[in-house]
Amino acid sequence: MTVCFAYNLAMPESEGTLDVIDRIVRAASDAAAHRDSAREHTTAALAVNERLITRSGEAIACSRERLAGAPLSTARQMEFRHLKIAEVHVGLARILIRRQRNLIDRLSARGISTNLAEMVLNTMQITLAAMEGHRTYMRQCAGIGDTFE
């Protein structure tokens, strides 16, 4: 049995050259389909994240209107509570991304396809970026700098 390392295909010795080429072409076609699917998924995820960021801005504006009559300290306390929640969410997202990377490494080490796991990781990273953007926006609205303690 001959192994084609470029495409990770095991080819029996009896298989003809045209059969080998056909298998390679099918493998390349499958890879292209996964790439196109990942691209579509990423584009859709970016659109969703843009909508979420817009909604976040609207929610903050709505909260400011509701808190306009409240004492400043209550409004500030609420802003800091929301920032703490955002920090927790960002931290959890980073942990999940590390776990996903570890999963991809384990799958790859076993020779298992990682296409879907990588698409999920990509979506997780895009979502984390949106969460961090929202957190930065919240900090700006609260009038505090880049670090939160």
| Residue 5: inside a domain | no
| Residue 120: inside a domain | yes
Whole domain around residue 118: which residue ranges? 34-142
Whole-model pTM: value is 0.53
User: What is the amino acid identity at position 2?
Assistant: T
| Residue 97: inside a domain | yes
Between residues 102 and 138, which one has the greater pLDDT?
102
Residue 148 in this model has a pLDDT that exceeds 70: no
| Residue 72: inside a domain | yes
Q: What is the DSSP string of 56-120?
A: HHHHHHHHHHHHTTS-HHHHHHHHHHHHHHHHHHHHHHHHHHHHHHHHHHHHHHTT---HHHHHH
Distance, C-alpha 128 to centroid of its chain: 6
- Taking all residues of the chain, what is their mean pLDDT, rounded to a whole number? 79
Residue 7's pLDDT is 46
Between residues 123 and 66, which one has the greater pLDDT?
123
Question: Picking from 5-14, 15-24, 87-96, 128-137, which range would have the lowest pLDDT averaged per residue?
Answer: 5-14
Considering its fold, how many domains does the chain have in total? 1
Judge whether 45 and 127 are in contact, CB under 8 Å. Answer: yes
Mind listing the pLDDT tens digit for each residue in 29-86? 777 777 777 778 777 777 777 777 777 777 777 776 666 666 667 777 888 888 889 9
| Residue 80: inside a domain | yes
| Residue 8: inside a domain | no
| Residue 15: inside a domain | no
| Residue 60: inside a domain | yes
Residue 146's pLDDT is 58
Residue 2 in this model has a pLDDT that exceeds 50: no
User: Per-residue confidence at 13, pLDDT binned at 50, 70, 90?
Assistant: low
